[in-house]
A and B are shown apart, each in its own frame.
Chain A
Amino acid sequence: MGPLITQGIISPEWNPILAFVIGMAFGFALEQGGFSSARKLAGVFYGYDMIVLRVFLTAMLTASVGLLFFNYLGWIDYDLIYVNPTFLWSLIVGGAMVGTGIIMAGFCPGTSFAAAAIGKIDAMVFIGGLAIGVFIYGETYELIWQGIYEAADFGRIRIYETLGISSGLFMFLFIIFALVLFWLTIPIKRKFSQRNLKY
């Protein structure tokens, strides 16, 4: 029963190899999906390209529904999976900064590595910026960020607990929501596709 390494079924020595192989699939899917192009990625914010919404939500649905089924079938212990802690303010402020950077650069950290891999110089420059950003953050951590980083800790909570419904019902509603969004991307893209340029 999974997670295999957490449970000691596979030795942790396999970690680097597994990380590399899973990373390869991740990078391959990102590049094939078009995330290696900043202009394609930014398209979702102007309506001329919808890959971000389509790829991102499909990946999220595949993994979240998969995990619930794995749990139901007894293949994975759902309680042993890492749940991101909810520190409300750092999530909101940090997320807003990431969003601002994404609309300026057309990359997020994951996509920039796939883009740099195929020779996008703008992606390499973005990665340099990331490193500088992390360094500045590290040097000013106690001064500026620590308070907000540690504030409003709600623990490792799940969205269906927050909403007070069952995981199954939440998943069902979210699937409906995603399908509506997928359907909406068709007329939106058609409307703005005259802006569709050659990447």
Chain B
Amino acid sequence: MNTQTPKKYMNPYLAGFILGLALLAAFYLTGRGLGASGAIKSTVTAVVKTVAPEHAEKSHFFTKYFQGDKSPLNSWLVFEIIGVVFGGFLSGAISGRLKLRIEHSPKITAKKRLIFAALGGVIVGMGAALGRGCASGAALSGMAVLSTAGFISFIAIFGTAFLFAYFFRKLWI
């Protein structure tokens, strides 16, 4: 979409400060932090409820994400994630980074990259459902309110990633 060289990324401390202000605003306005995996849970629940309503009613998992006839899609995190997509797009447009592509290390094929992206997604999806959130909801927002849970999430997520980094090094370096 853009043939110009993409602009450099923002200073990470400034980007972190802006992110922190968005998080602070979320707490000040709504009393809750940011999240991402919750939007996926709501969406999957909405699909299951539409396709197989009786099946969804019986599940102890899916019933947590809807009450009565209220649509699970009508949740805070879904609107937030729509915002994330718009904000990300805006940033990419400003910095000349809008381009349809598969990003991968030159040492691996695009196919291998996509297989591991999909597999990683499945594992993160299950883990975020079990751990009551992902890196943004459980770790970042959890640590911002100084919850013990947030710090445990942070250590579990990043500790495990460091622990297994060696086995997956060929995907990245």
Question: Once the chains bind, are A99 and B158 in contact (CB under 8 Å)?
Answer: yes
The range of chain B's interface size is 35 or more
User: Interface SS of chain B: helix, strand, loop or mixed?
Assistant: helix
Q: B99 touching A118 by the CB < 8 A rule?
A: yes
**In the bound complex, CA of A112 to CA of B18 (Å):** 19
Chain A residues whose C-beta falls within 8 Å of the C-beta of B144 in the assembled complex: 59-60, 63-64, 67
Q: Which residue of A lies closest to B133 (CB)?
A: A84
* Size class of the contact patch on chain A: 35 or more
Q: How far is the CA of A120 from the CA of B121 in the complex (A)?
A: 14
* Contacts known (A3-B27, A67-B145, A86-B152); A113 close to B81, Cβ less than 8 A: yes
Classify the secondary structure of A's interface with B. helix
User: Quick check: A99 and B156 within 8 Å, CB to CB?
Assistant: yes
Nearest neighbor of B41 in chain A, beta-carbon distance: A134
Bound Cα distance from A7 to B85, whole angstroms: 29
Q: Is A172 part of the binding interface, using a Cβ–Cβ cutoff of 8 Å?
A: no
Question: A residues within 8 A CB of B169?
Answer: 46
Q: Which residues does A use to contact B, with CB under 8 Å?
A: 2-6, 10, 15-34, 36-40, 42-43, 45-46, 48, 50-51, 54-64, 66-67, 70, 75-76, 80-88, 90-110, 112-123, 125-139, 141-142, 145-146, 148-149, 154, 156-162, 167, 170-171, 182, 195, 197, 199
Contact surface of B with A, Cβ cutoff 8 Å: 1, 9-10, 12-13, 15-37, 39-41, 43-45, 48, 59-62, 76-92, 95, 97-106, 113-114, 116-136, 138-165, 168-169, 171-173
